[in-house]
């Protein structure tokens, strides 16, 4: 089974948080129990799911730094079937706090293994960096989703992300597969954008989700109301398209699940 899915791209502003929150809410809407892990010190996913600044403690940092049991830290959200491990400013210190601690890159994987079976999906919102936090997400991953906004810069981001994944693979033996590359914030009326989309589809082939998420103001407004796009604007284009991505995702989680079960077995040996 594919369960733990970081949403990752080392470029900023490509739609990672929007994708994490929307996919989590969409999976929750169709009856899955979902946990969002906010691994960004900005706490954007936590805010987007309606939490206030005062709600950010305890946070994922307590789980990673002090090895608190996740069940003591997990909070529920107003979004149906979606719980959260919040982000907080302290996360930014992980590299320093754990700089000489052995197994520091496996802290998240270990913590999540203690709540095995409680969730159908665990989506991890990553910060735009290749920090120890991101390495923890990669180590915990069963598969990951890469959002790409079709600008030249974020295409470069995808290529350098490939390097990060390769490094993790080399240091840990193997790494989880790409569940899907998602084209986000697409403005199809722009010729250059269309050329880049073609390049991404060429580069990643069948890994790219068929559905493209277009630029939609509803997706920008929803997080400011602390609600997913499905609750804020259920009939918007953004809601329709993310619903389609959820469908594709569930299909892939099921289809790839058995193929990648060996990855999971190896992972549990590691942690």
152-160 contacts at long range (C-beta below 8 A, 24 or more positions apart):
152/196, 153/11, 154/9, 154/11, 154/14, 155/196, 155/199, 155/200, 155/203, 156/11, 157/9, 157/10, 157/11, 157/14, 158/9, 158/200, 158/203, 158/204, 160/10
- The reply to whether 13 sits near ligand ATP by the rule CB under 6 A is yes
Q: Interface with ligand ATP by CB under 6 A: which range of 83-91, 197-205, 218-226, 259-267?
A: 218-226
Left (φ > 0), alpha (ψ -120 to 50) or beta: where does 185 sit? left
Q: x/- binding map, residues 53-92, to ligand ATP, per CB under 6 A?
A: ----------------------------------------
122 token code pair: 């665990």
- Residue 147 sits at φ, ψ, to 5 deg, of -80, 140
- The reply to whether 17 sits near Mg ion by the rule CB under 5 A is yes
- The reply to whether 183 sits near ligand ATP by the rule CB under 6 A is no
Among 41, 44, 134, 236, binds Mg ion (CB under 5 A): 44
Least separation in angstroms between residue 243's CB and ligand ATP is 14
Q: Which of 60, 57, 76 is nearest to 68 (CA)?
A: 60
- The reply to whether 17 sits near ligand ATP by the rule CB under 6 A is yes
Among 63, 219, 245, 246, binds ligand ATP (CB under 6 A): 219
Please state whether the peptide bond connecting residue 58 to the residue before it is cis, i.e. omega within 30 degrees of 0. yes
- The reply to whether 11 sits near Mg ion by the rule CB under 5 A is no
DSSP-H helix ranges across the chain: 16-29, 44-48, 60-65, 70-73, 94-97, 107-113, 132-140, 152-172, 191-204, 217-221, 229-232, 237-259, 261-270
Least separation in angstroms between residue 231's CB and ligand ATP is 15
Among 4, 5, 24, 44, binds ligand ATP (CB under 6 A): 44
Q: x/- binding map, residues 230-259, to ligand ATP, per CB under 6 A?
A: --------x---------------------
Q: Return the residue matching tokens 């390097």.
A: 163
Among 156, 190, 220, 254, binds ligand ATP (CB under 6 A): 220
Q: Using CB under 5 A, which residues numbered 149 to 188 contact Mg ion?
A: none
Least separation in angstroms between residue 18's CB and ligand ATP is 3
Rank residues 16 and 90 by Cβ distance to Mg ion and give the closer one. 16
Q: Read off the DSSP letter of residue 177.
A: P
Least separation in angstroms between residue 16's CB and ligand ATP is 3
Cα–Cα distance between 3 and 26 in angstroms, integer? 15
Rank residues 227 and 260 by Cβ distance to Mg ion and give the closer one. 227
Would you tell me which residues interact with ligand ATP (CB under 6 A)?
12-18, 40, 44, 128, 184-185, 213, 215-216, 219-220, 223, 238
């Amino acid at each position: 089974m594919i369960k733990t899915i970081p949403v990752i791209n080392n470029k900023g502003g490509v739609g990672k948080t929007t994708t994490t929150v929307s996919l989590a809410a969409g999976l929750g809407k169709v009856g899955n129990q979902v946990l969002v892990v906010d691994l960004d010190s900005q706490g954007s996913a936590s805010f987007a799911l309606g939490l206030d600044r005062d709600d950010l403690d305890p946070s994922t940092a307590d789980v990673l730094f002090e090895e608190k049991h996740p069940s003591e830290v997990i909070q529920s959200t107003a979004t149906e079937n979606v719980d959260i491990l919040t982000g907080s400013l302290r996360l930014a210190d992980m590299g320093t706090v754990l700089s000489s601690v052995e197994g520091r890159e496996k802290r998240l994987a270990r913590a999540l293994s203690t709540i095995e079976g409680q969730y159908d999906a665990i989506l991890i919102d990553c910060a735009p960096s290749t920090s120890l936090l991101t390495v923890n997400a990669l180590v915990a991953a069963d598969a990951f989703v890469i959002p790409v906004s079709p600008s030249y810069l974020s295409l470069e981001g995808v290529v350098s992300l490939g390097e990060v994944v390769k490094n993790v693979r080399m240091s840990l033996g193997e790494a989880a597969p790409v569940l899907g590359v998602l084209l986000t914030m697409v403005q199809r009326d722009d010729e250059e954008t269309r050329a880049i989309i073609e390049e991404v589809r060429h580069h990643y082939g069948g890994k790219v989700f068929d559905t493209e998420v277009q630029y939609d103001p509803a997706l920008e407004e929803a997080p400011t109301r602390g609600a997913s796009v499905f609750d804020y604007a259920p009939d918007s284009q953004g809601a329709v398209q993310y619903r389609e991505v959820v469908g594709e995702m569930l299909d892939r989680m099921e289809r790839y699940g058995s193929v990648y079960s060996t990855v999971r077995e190896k992972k549990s040996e590691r942690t």
